[in-house]
Amino acid sequence: MNNERRISALQLGLHWFPERPGGLDRIYQNLIDALPAAGVDVRGLVAGSAQVEAASNGVVRAFAPPDSPLLHRLRSVRREVRRSLAETDPDLIVSHFALYGAPGLDLYRGRPLVSHFQGPWSAETEVERGGASSKFSALVKAMVEGAVYRRSTRIIVLSTAFRDVLQARFRIPDDVIRVIPGCVDVSRFTINTTPEAARAALGLPSDRPIVVTVRRLARRMGIEDLIDSFRQVRHTVPDALLVIVGGGALTAALRKRIDEQGLGDHVRLLGRVEDDKLPLVYRAADLSIVPTVALEGFGLTTIESLATGTPVLVTPVGGLPEAVAGLSPDLVLPNFGANALAAGIVDALRGHLRLPSADACHAYARNGFDVPVKAARTAKVYHEAVRVFGESHPGTGLDRKKSDDTLMRRDMASRTR
């Protein structure tokens, strides 16, 4: 628990995680749940259904359905920000997604803004979509991002790799940026189920070495390279099975790729799985792998896998090496691409690569990346932002509230004389 005065924050998220699972949304919900114990009272706004408020016990409201027209969402988030400021008078605003942080920028006057930078939204558009239209879309998104980040008193990034991206792409000063890795509810991934039982529950074979990847099926995730790598893996480890968990725009193309290369017996697209079954996916595997080729700020699935006790190999992209190097540098592959992936998988499955034990994996996740650890570090940055903003803007934020409290006490005292 932070010993500083409690503060309050309005948290602007993307989606409500149970309705639209994603790494950003999971971190958002984890912080919503954990920050009060770290000294930060929270209220939140997300794009979601009418059930969000009840599901969050009144802490988070949906400003609009996620599939509603963009202009409607932007108008709605601005309206709800105005309403929330009037109702709760928070000490700071926190933006987890620049698009929804931007419409209320002029309403934040007198309060610090903290942004969670979980990836360059504009750059991801260029990488994943391609074409002239995507370049224009990326330019517009970059303008939105830049406006929010330049207004921010502090920006929290997931890795030093993303700190560098933020500085290079948006010219953000180093003293504004704080690095706090992603978090996982480690208790949720601490399961007593045996690998054999996990495989049975998922309908996976019990007598084959299994490699799993949990990814959104998009271009920058490297799934094509991973599939191609099994053309080599199958010759050295003939019974190896790759299980790909997740959905996305590339599903049909990946299925075609598997069929064309004759990998139907070695690569299985499992599709999306329910969130409560995700720990079983990692537990069923001998090895997890993250094959990303670009723009990976942290890789939440790395810690999810480790929390279940399953070691994970990662490509040397973005923040992935930072996520696992503290456990073992051997978990970082020398390169990305099919050849590097194949060599790493074969070495791991044949015992030529020294992998950490299940206990070591779990302890590493618990000690460094559990939700309370992230919440405490995040709360410290929030307090810092409030203090720094107050020093540079006298009469705002907590200073204003302290003055209001003093006037109220004086008024009450005069009435009792």
Phi, psi for 58 (deg, rounded to 5) = 85, 0
* The pLDDT of residue 201: 95
Question: Does 389 lie in the same domain as 340?
Answer: no
Q: Which of 116, 42, 107 is nearest to 79 (CA)?
A: 107
* The pLDDT of residue 119: 78
* Beta partners for residue 8, in sequence order: 41
Question: Does 157 lie in the same domain as 190?
Answer: no
Question: Does 411 lie in the same domain as 272?
Answer: no
Question: Does 157 lie in the same domain as 221?
Answer: no
Residue 15 resides in a domain: yes
Question: Does 338 lie in the same domain as 250?
Answer: yes
* The pLDDT of residue 387: 96
* The pLDDT of residue 138: 82
Question: Does 119 lie in the same domain as 135?
Answer: yes
Question: Does 135 lie in the same domain as 268?
Answer: no
Q: Which of 268, 273, 305 is nearest to 286 (CA)?
A: 305
Phi, psi for 298 (deg, rounded to 5) = -155, -50
Residue 293 resides in a domain: yes
Find the CATH number of the domain harbouring 80.
3.40.50.2000
Q: Which of 327, 45, 382 is nearest to 180 (CA)?
A: 382
Residue 50 resides in a domain: yes
Question: Does 222 lie in the same domain as 309?
Answer: yes
Residue 1 resides in a domain: no
Residue 52 resides in a domain: yes
Q: Report the distance separating Cα 244 and Cα 289, nearest Å.
A: 10
Q: Which of 54, 61, 52, 113 is nearest to 84 (CA)?
A: 61
Q: Report the distance separating Cα 101 and Cα 148, nearest Å.
A: 7
CB contact at 8 A, 314 and 331 = yes
Note the maximum CA span of the chain: 91
**Parent domain of 139:** 7-183+370-415
Question: Does 137 lie in the same domain as 28?
Answer: yes
Count Cβ atoms below 10 Å from residue 346 Cβ, excluding itself.
18
Question: Does 336 lie in the same domain as 253?
Answer: yes
Structure tokens at 42: 């929270």
Q: Report the distance separating Cα 288 and Cα 215, nearest Å.
A: 11
Residue 352 resides in a domain: yes
Question: Does 221 lie in the same domain as 334?
Answer: yes
Indicate the length of the chain as a whole number: 417
CB contact at 8 A, 154 and 385 = yes
Q: Report the distance separating Cα 249 and Cα 252, nearest Å.
A: 8
Q: Which residue, 353, 369, 385, sits at the end of a domain?
A: 369
* The pLDDT of residue 416: 44
Provide the number of structural domains found in the chain: 2
Q: Which of 308, 300, 273, 304 is nearest to 195 (CA)?
A: 308
SS3 130: coil
For β-strands 92-95 and 60-64, DSSP reports them as: unpaired
Question: Does 322 lie in the same domain as 178?
Answer: no
For β-strands 40-47 and 7-15, DSSP reports them as: parallel
Judged on CB neighbours under 10 Å (0-12, 13-18, 19+), 120 is buried
Radius of gyration of the chain (CA): 23
238 CB contacts (<8 Å, ≥6 apart)?
Answer: none
* The pLDDT of residue 415: 42
Residue 145 resides in a domain: yes
Phi, psi for 360 (deg, rounded to 5) = -65, -40
Structure tokens at 72: 């409607």
The crossing angle, in degrees rounded to 10, of helices 23-34 and 300-307 is 70
What is the full per-residue pLDDT of the chain (417 aa) written as tens digits? 446 799 999 999 999 988 888 888 999 999 999 999 999 999 999 999 999 999 999 999 999 999 999 999 999 999 999 999 999 999 999 999 999 999 999 999 999 999 999 877 777 666 666 555 678 888 899 999 999 999 999 999 999 989 998 999 999 999 999 999 988 999 999 999 999 999 999 999 999 999 999 998 988 899 999 999 999 999 999 999 999 999 988 999 999 999 999 999 999 999 999 989 999 999 999 999 999 998 787 888 999 999 999 999 999 998 899 999 899 999 999 999 999 999 999 999 999 999 999 999 999 999 999 999 999 999 999 999 999 999 988 876 555 555 444 434 444 444 444
Count Cβ atoms below 10 Å from residue 280 Cβ, excluding itself.
22
* Beta partners for residue 268, in sequence order: 243
- DSSP one-letter code for 332: B
Structure tokens at 111: 């309060």
CB contact at 8 A, 281 and 202 = yes
Count Cβ atoms below 10 Å from residue 192 Cβ, excluding itself.
6
Q: Report the distance separating Cα 301 and Cα 287, nearest Å.
A: 12
Q: Report the distance separating Cα 58 and Cα 52, nearest Å.
A: 8
Please name the helix (run of DSSP H) or strand (run of DSSP E) that holds residue 160, with its range, or none: helix 160-170
Residue 233 resides in a domain: yes
Q: Which residue, 369, 384, 406, sits at the end of a domain?
A: 369
